[in-house]
Amino acid sequence: MTPRRSTGRSRAELLTTARTLGLHGVTRLPKEALARVLEVVRSRQAAPLVRLETAQLVFDRPGRAKTLDLRNQSGRPLRLRLDVLDDGSGAFTVAAKAPPLLVRPGGRLRIPLTFRPRAAGVLMTRSQRHWGEARLWDDDAQRFVGLVPLVGRGPGYVPLAGLSCIYDPLPEPPLHVGNSPPAVSLRVRPEIGWSGEPLHVEWSVSGAETTWEGFYRPGDEVLPAGTFTDWGGSTGLAGVSSRVYDATFGRTTTFAIDARNADGTTTERVTAYAKTAVGYHAASTPAGGVPESEVAGIRRDLEDIERRLLGGCIRDNTELDAFGDPYLRGALTDDILAAMQDVLVYTGPEKLPTAHRASRLCEGGRYGVTPSDRSFVAICRALDADSLTLLHELYHYAATRDNGNEEKAFAVSIGCF
């Protein structure tokens, strides 16, 4: 029988060490088992096997190669395994001529990595941020030894099979009735408009002991660079269980109904956004604390698209003839230019009207969406959507025939960039 190895320390000493390390769940272990646990914990808290001399790899454009540098700090040769994870773009890879990941004690290793997003599917933006991680493992001991973040800027693609920019707004929700806790229905129509345009508000409450009605507004509609704004307003007892009235748009306003009874509280809020002009004909975007830089960005995108269209990027694109549709190189350019003049542009999901929250803008690589009622276009700045993205959506918004065809929208937009 193999004799047990003596730890040379009493159980009381081992328990004191365990408590010092915060290991309160091992106090009932036998002495030998407790000693083994402490040995493992101490080994993991020891100096790292590898010193990463590269804190982060940043690639400013596709095709670049950079090296991940490390030094073996252990007293033995290390056979490493490198796992490269990314955002699904396949952008980060180990260079084909990378050396074997074997490094002697005290030695250094340089691992070349390349950045090149896969050109697969529909190009939706010319330059977006790509993220990844390079994870290093001690392949012999199956132990994690380090991680290096990877960042790059390059084109963003979406598989054509999964691309569907046009969606149907949700139907009008029914008034709901209940009393545990109270039920609240609040409708504001429309939820965006120019100053002076009509605004309709109606709300009802059931099962409430008290009902509070509130109104809130941002301090500024458009924010200069380096500034921010909060929202202020007032609330008071409504004194009624329902209200219907007509008003006119002025400043951006959030309408809030708060209904309470012994079983709980139900609150509903709807914001009616004021439109602000972007400086391109009558085109607009929601205000309500929008940065000036965002407004200017929309104007630049529209002006960029206009310049390209007037330069013949659609009319002169002979590759569009493959669709057998003369409309593409014919009236489409004029239709887009006309529609752009008063288009409403959203740049994220936060301010979308209630009926359009199901658009899934910015989710799963959705760079842009256009509702089937063509009431606006929306692009996702969080995904670095740009003027190429906006032109793609303007095809869906403006084309008078076959406007839901993603292949045509892609061919039109990519041909201009």
CATH code: domain of residue 144 = 2.60.40.10
143 & 37 share domain: no
Of 251, 276, 301, the last residue of a domain is 276
300 & 271 share domain: no
- Check residue 6 and give its pLDDT: 43
pLDDT in tens, 30-66: 787 777 777 766 655 555 788 899 889 999 889 888 9
Q: How far is CA 385 from each of CA 111, 125, 346, rounded to the nearest angstrom?
A: 33, 5, 11
H/E segment holding residue 308: helix 292-310
Residue 178 domain flag: no
- Among 72, 74, 134, CA closest to 109: 72
Burial group, residue 303, by CB count within 10 angstroms (0-12, 13-18, 19+): middle
Residue 410 domain flag: yes
Residue 174 domain flag: no
Q: Which amino acid is at 30?
A: P
Residue 173 domain flag: no
Q: How far is CA 197 from each of CA 157, 187, 189, 275, rounded to the nearest angstrom?
A: 40, 17, 11, 11
286 & 261 share domain: no
Strand ranges (DSSP E) for 338-388? 345-346, 368-371, 377-379
For helices 332-340 and 387-398, the axis angle rounded to 10 degrees is 110
406 & 287 share domain: yes
Which single residue is written with the structure tokens 């951006």? 252
301 & 389 share domain: yes
Q: What is the pTM of this model?
A: 0.79
Residue 230 domain flag: yes
Q: Is 88 helix (H, G, I), strand (E, B) or coil?
A: coil
- Digits of tens for pLDDT over the chain (417 positions)? 344 444 467 877 777 777 766 676 667 777 877 777 777 666 555 557 888 998 899 998 898 889 999 999 888 899 999 999 888 888 999 887 667 788 999 999 999 999 999 888 899 999 999 989 999 998 887 888 888 999 999 999 988 887 899 999 988 765 555 567 899 999 999 999 999 999 999 999 999 999 999 999 999 999 998 888 888 999 999 999 999 999 999 999 999 999 999 999 999 999 999 999 999 999 999 999 999 999 999 999 999 999 999 999 999 999 999 999 999 999 999 999 999 999 999 999 999 999 998 899 999 889 999 999 999 999 999 999 999 999 999 999 999 999 999 999 999 999 999
Residue 1 domain flag: no
Q: How many domains does the chain have?
A: 4
Residue 166 domain flag: no
144 & 203 share domain: no
212 & 310 share domain: no
Q: Domain residues for 215? A: 183-276
- Check residue 5 and give its pLDDT: 43
196 & 239 share domain: yes
Q: What is the DSSP letter of 34?
A: H
Residue 170 domain flag: no
- Check residue 309 and give its pLDDT: 98
Sign of the alpha-carbon dihedral angle for 344, 347, 351, 355: positive
- Among 120, 122, 123, 102, CA closest to 111: 102
- Check residue 47 and give its pLDDT: 59
CATH code: domain of residue 367 = 3.40.390
103 & 113 share domain: yes
216 & 252 share domain: yes
- Check residue 239 and give its pLDDT: 93
313 & 240 share domain: no
96 & 22 share domain: no
Burial group, residue 356, by CB count within 10 angstroms (0-12, 13-18, 19+): buried
| Under 8 Å between Cβ of 370 and 397 | yes
CATH code: domain of residue 249 = 2.60.40.2470
